Each structure stands twice: as structure tokens, then as C-alpha cells.
């Protein structure tokens, strides 16, 4: 599998740099006869696109997606769907400084070490700009999952912590994520973040975040032990997103400190079959979905590009002080949220297809 491909049966392969002609991807393994068009995809992309509030980058990209293949008369044909987003706002500027300096916390240094060459304009391939095409691929997965799983299926997510400030879980309401610029499921905390992030911007700093993505209506049985476990695939998916430094399922790290008598989720007979009393395991046992809500949390580090001068070296190995001007997200976690939702959709659909291929073969 190519390094720039994600997924096995339902997969996508991405390309593109921040300041090149454009970005895009090829989505393969798309089931045929699913309604699809640029109109259906665009709203997904609009959620992630830059410039929508003062808390995200001011780069101007309308992120209009062009479908190049795989659709006929408004339906998928089963052949690969290629999508292209032209870059528009590659602000012409002087790159002489950035071409010679390694920004602390950035991939500048490691790309140079690995490849011996790098497209330094806007971070090149390591830029979060690439994540737009994941949202496009995730949108297709979401459409297919809706067709396959029906109305109970839904993926939602939000930012549950910015800097040291967590939401109050007693107020958690996923519908609230559409009502503030932070995808925050708690309106009171959202208001607090507003002043906190204004302060962060003023001081020339940045903030980290924790995302939580949940999926409902996922049938029991998805995940392919031992090395294609659903939680392993989800962790891999999330860890590919820029600036992510941690992933946990259900109770996650907190579960390590719990007493064994409280940790395992008990079950009781329910009206429609067995029901779980709790969900410490986040909907996954033994790498296989339980039928409960899937719960994934993702840790995102503070944006590395900040106005405050930081110590670094240049390409000649000499000490320099780096100030990163430009139009950067004060908290990359915010725009990372729709990306995490998209990666979850792709991972779940891939798991569904793999499960049906093996365990559904003799049912059909």
C-alpha cells in the first residue's frame, strides 16, 4: 500500500502541497449506485475551510471540489472517484527566510533529513492543507454508510478541551457544536474559550485541544482481529492528522487508574437483546464493535507557528531565532475536528466492508 493511501477495501490516496497547483485524492472501492455530486460534498468541505472566524487561519480558499471521475448521471459507478481542489490563495511572498530555517515543532527539519529536499512554501506536503481532501473522502464514506446502515447511523464530534479548559460534561449537547466557532458541545465553555483564545492570540502564542468523535448506529461485529482491530485502525487514522499526539478509546488513559470492579462494562437483558450498563470501553471489545456508541478522543498539540521568537537552527546548522509570521490557526484543533470525523467515517466503512466480505459471505 502506498504511503499516501489510507484504508484497505474502501481507500483513498491523496496528493498535493500547500502552495502547489492543488490538492486532491482518488477514492477507491466506492460501492456503486450511491448518489454523489459536488453539491453533496461541498457542505462537508465548508465546515473545515479556512477564514470562517478570527480563531482560524485567514488564508482565503473556497475549497471548491471538482469530481474528475467515477460518477455517472449522479451516481457512483464503482470506479475510482478522483477529486481536485485547486489552490487559490498561495500568497506570493519572500521565502528566503523560511527556506533556510527550521521552525521549532514543525516538520521542516525532519522532511529535510528524510528527503534531502523539501518544498518549504507554506510547509509543503506537511501542511494541514492536505486535510481538505480527507474531508472529501470522508464525505463519500459518510454517504455510503448512510445508504448501508440507515437512519440510526451518525458520526458527530466536537472540541472538548482548548488549552487547559475542558467542557462541563453535564452540559454536553452535540447539537451545540454548530452554534459556535469552536465545534464546542457546551455553550458556556464556548464563551469562555472565546476570551481565552483572544488572549492567546494577543500574546503571540497558541493553544492545544482535545477532540471527541462519536459514532452511533454502528452494528456489533466490525473490526478484524488481531491486527485489523477497529480501535487500532481508528488510532492509526487519528494519528495521521497533523499535530495529533495522543488517541484514546472510551475511558482511555483514565481507565488505567480505575478499579477492576468498575472498569468492565456490565450487561443486562434488554427489550431488544443484551444492553450494556456502561461504556468505559467506548464501544469496542477485543478490537470489535459492541453495537454501542463508538467514542474516540484525540489530543492535539498547540500550533507550532507562533509570533513569539523561538530558538532554532538554520540549514547550515547555525543558531537562529525564528518568528513565524503568516496566517496560522491559533488552535489547529478546531479545524482538525471535521478531519477527525472524516477519518472516522472512512475507517468505519472500511471495517464494515471487510467484515461483510469475510463473515457475511455465506449469508448472501
Which residue from 342, 290, 360 is spatially nearest to 138, judged by alpha carbons? 342
Nearest approach, Cβ of residue 37 and its own copies (Å): 13
Cβ–Cβ contacts within 10 Å for residue 115, how many? 11
Using the rule CB under 8 A, give the single segment among 47-55, 160-168, 176-184, 190-198 that binds its own copies: 160-168
Integer CA distances (angstroms), 194 to 105, 163, 167, in order: 25, 12, 13
Using the rule CB under 8 A, give the single segment among 54-62, 143-151, 177-185, 334-342 that binds its own copies: 143-151
Phi, psi of 76 (to 5 degrees): -70, 150
94 lies in the site for its own copies, by CB under 8 A:
no
Which residue from 143, 179, 135, 186 is spatially nearest to 162, judged by alpha carbons? 186
CA distance 211 to 203: 24
SS3 at position 52: coil
**Which of residues 40, 172, 263, 323 is near its own copies by CB under 8 A?**
263
Q: How big is the site for its own copies, counted in residues (CB under 8 A)?
A: 166
**Which of residues 107, 167, 215, 342 is near its own copies by CB under 8 A?**
107
CA distance 94 to 325: 12
144 lies in the site for its own copies, by CB under 8 A:
yes
CA distance 5 to 315: 31
What is the Cα gyration radius of the chain? 21
Instruction: Tell me which residues in 204-233 interact with its own copies (CB under 8 A).
Output: 204-210, 220-229, 231-233
**Which of residues 39, 164, 170, 195 is near its own copies by CB under 8 A?**
164
Of 175 and 269, nearer to its own copies (C-beta) is 269
251 lies in the site for its own copies, by CB under 8 A:
yes
Of 175 and 232, nearer to its own copies (C-beta) is 232
| Cell (9 digits) for 165 | 479548559
Nearest approach, Cβ of residue 93 and its own copies (Å): 16
Instruction: Tell me which residues in 281-300 interact with its own copies (CB under 8 A).
Output: 281-282, 284-291, 299-300
Strands 75-76 and 165-166: unpaired
Nearest approach, Cβ of residue 104 and its own copies (Å): 4
| Cell (9 digits) for 61 | 480558499
**Which of residues 44, 55, 102, 183 is near its own copies by CB under 8 A?**
102
Strands 81-86 and 165-166: unpaired
Instruction: Tell me which residues in 167-196 interact with its own copies (CB under 8 A).
Output: none
Instruction: Tell me which residues in 54-73 interact with its own copies (CB under 8 A).
Output: 66-70, 72
Amino acid at each position: 500500500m502506498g504511503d499516501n493511501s489510507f484504508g484497505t477495501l474502501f481507500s483513498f490516496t491523496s496528493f498535493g502541497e500547500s502552495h502547489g497547483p492543488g490538492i486532491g485524492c482518488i477514492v477507491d472501492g466506492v460501492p456503486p449506485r450511491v448518489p454523489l455530486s459536488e453539491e453533496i460534498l461541498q457542505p462537508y468541505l465548508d465546515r473545515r475551510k479556512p477564514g470562517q472566524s478570527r480563531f482560524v487561519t485567514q488564508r482565503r480558499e473556497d475549497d471548491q471540489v471538482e469530481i474528475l471521475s467515477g460518477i455517472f448521471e449522479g451516481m457512483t459507478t464503482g470506479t475510482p472517484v478522483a477529486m481536485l481542489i485547486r489552490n487559490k490563495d498561495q500568497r506570493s511572498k519572500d521565502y528566503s527566510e523560511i527556506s533556510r530555517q527550521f521552525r521549532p515543532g514543525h516538520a521542516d527539519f525532519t522532511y529535510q533529513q528524510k528527503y534531502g529536499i523539501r518544498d518549504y512554501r507554506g510547509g509543503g506536503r506537511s501542511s494541514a492543507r492536505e486535510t481538505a481532501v480527507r474531508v472529501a473522502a470522508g464525505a463519500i464514506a459518510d454517504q455510503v454508510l448512510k445508504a448501508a446502515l440507515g437512519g440510526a447511523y451518525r458520526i458527530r464530534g466536537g472540541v472538548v478541551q482548548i488549552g487547559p479548559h475542558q467542557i462541563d460534561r453535564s452540559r454536553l449537547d452535540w447539537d451545540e457544536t454548530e452554534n459556535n466557532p469552536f465545534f464546542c458541545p457546551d455553550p458556556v465553555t464556548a464563551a469562555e474559550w472565546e476570551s481565552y483564545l483572544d488572549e492567546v492570540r494577543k500574546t503571540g502564542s497558541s493553544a492545544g485541544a482535545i477532540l471527541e468523535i462519536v459514532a452511533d448506529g454502528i452494528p456489533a461485529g466490525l473490526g478484524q482481529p488481531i491486527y485489523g482491530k477497529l480501535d487500532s485502525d481508528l488510532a492509526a487514522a487519528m494519528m495521521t492528522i497533523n499535530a495529533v499526539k495522543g488517541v484514546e478509546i472510551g475511558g482511555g488513559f483514565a481507565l488505567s487508574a480505575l478499579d477492576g470492579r468498575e472498569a468492565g462494562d456490565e450487561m443486562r437483558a434488554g427489550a431488544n437483546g443484551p444492553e450494556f450498563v456502561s461504556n468505559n470501553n467506548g464501544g469496542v471489545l477485543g478490537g470489535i464493535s459492541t453495537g454501542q456508541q463508538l467514542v474516540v478522543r484525540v489530543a492535539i498539540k498547540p500550533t507550532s507557528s507562533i509570533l513569539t521568537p523561538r530558538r532554532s537552527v538554520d540549514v547550515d546548522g547555525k543558531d537562529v531565532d525564528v518568528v513565524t509570521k503568516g496566517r496560522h490557526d491559533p488552535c489547529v484543533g478546531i479545524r482538525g475536528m471535521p478531519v477527525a470525523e472524516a477519518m472516522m467515517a472512512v475507517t468505519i466503512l472500511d471495517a464494515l466492508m471487510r467484515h461483510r466480505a469475510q463473515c457475511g459471505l455465506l449469508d448472501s
